[in-house]
Amino acid sequence: MVGAVGGSSLSSSVVASRQAGRAGELTPEQQRQVDALKQTDRKVRSHEQAHMAAGAGLVRGSSYEYQTGPDKKRYAVAGEVSIDTSPGRTPEETIVKAQQIRAAALAPADPSTQDRRVAAAASQMEMQARQELAQARDEQRSGNGLVDGALAVYRQVAAAGERGSGFSAVA
């Protein structure tokens, strides 16, 4: 602000900023910004590291979005990891993989909305694989039932032939 009577005065924040600039130091406000950026950077990196640890083998490197602070350093303010969400080769593999995907998605202390979406999709993938597995087991059982029934009839026919009598089959 400019004074009225031929002199000038500067606000205290401008003076502090100029003094800090001369000494290479930060103003209190700039230091608060740097502290906040450092905290965000730690949270972001910890969040992505949790995904990577829980998703070992399925997760590929993390990438970060950076912001430059008043101290001219770069701080991570957002991040992401790539995770393989394709199904396994078998329903059993898919179940195990879906469980690991869900664990990786929910590994951070504070999962994001996107993390929760990935976890929900993994749960859906697991449920579908379990249904396929149950269906395959049912088909196998009913197939075995036919074979067992055919063997029983064969045994009856063979026994009847030896005795010279008829047999009865119940379907």
Q: For 21, what's the count of Cα atoms within 13 Å in the CB-facing half-sphere?
A: 6
Which structure tokens are listed for 106?
A: 């929910």
Contact status, residue 46 vs residue 79, Cβ threshold 8 Å: no
- Report pLDDT for 166: 45
- Report pLDDT for 7: 40
- Report pLDDT for 8: 40
- Report pLDDT for 140: 84
- Report pLDDT for 20: 46
- Report pLDDT for 122: 98
Tens of pLDDT along the chain (171 residues) come to 433 334 444 444 444 445 544 557 999 999 999 999 999 999 999 999 999 999 999 999 899 999 999 999 999 999 999 999 999 999 999 999 999 999 999 999 999 999 999 999 999 999 999 999 999 998 888 766 555 666 666 666 666 655 554 444 444
Pick from 114, 118, 73: nearest CA to 100: 118
- Report pLDDT for 4: 38
Which sequence spans correspond to the domains of the chain? 15-82
- Report pLDDT for 23: 53
